[in-house]
Homo-oligomer: A and B are copies of this chain.
């Protein structure tokens, strides 16, 4: 890639990061080009669709999501506490940008999605938590299912601008439902 192209590519990513954070993932793309100081055509050359731009932005997001999963697995406490840590961490990361939860959850079952690799990373991070919790979880649960539930809760938070006191009881319901019957109520 030519030096000026690389520079424009980076300027677009930085501008998109700012614009999407301020105005959500449906923000006008011409604002992204304008703030990056490039023509509209340059944006479309580098990122043919909005989701391609989003996909490039999401690398850092996935890194944080992986870190949240590792942190949850490493929690020194009960299975319940480890699971709750992942649900809290996962929801917090996935709701970082308005609309991201819906896009990621939709991409979980769609290989054709432009952000399919990011959704797969979300499912894999969930899968690592599932494996770490092992027999403490209800049998048959897999990473995709857990990611869907975390994504669903994240969408509720995203749509409703829920604060901590509204979020906590919903997370509790999810945790109790996810734990193996013998552990529930302990």
A residues contacting B by CB (< 8 A) are 102, 105-106, 108-110, 138, 140-141, 145, 148-149, 151-153, 155-156, 159-162, 166, 169-170, 172-178, 181-182, 184-185
Check if A160 sits within 8 Å of B102, measured CB to CB.
no
The CA-CA distance from A160 to B178 in the complex, in Å, is 21
Interface of chain A: mostly helix, strand, loop or mixed: helix
What residues of B have a CB within 8 angstroms of the CB of A110 in the complex? Answer: 160
Residues of B with C-beta under 8 A to A159: 102, 105-106, 151, 155
In the assembled complex, how far is the CB of residue A151 from the closest CB belonging to chain B, in whole angstroms? 6
Expressed in whole angstroms, the Cα–Cα distance for A175 and B174 within the complex equals 9
| CA gap between A105 and B159 in the complex, in Å | 7
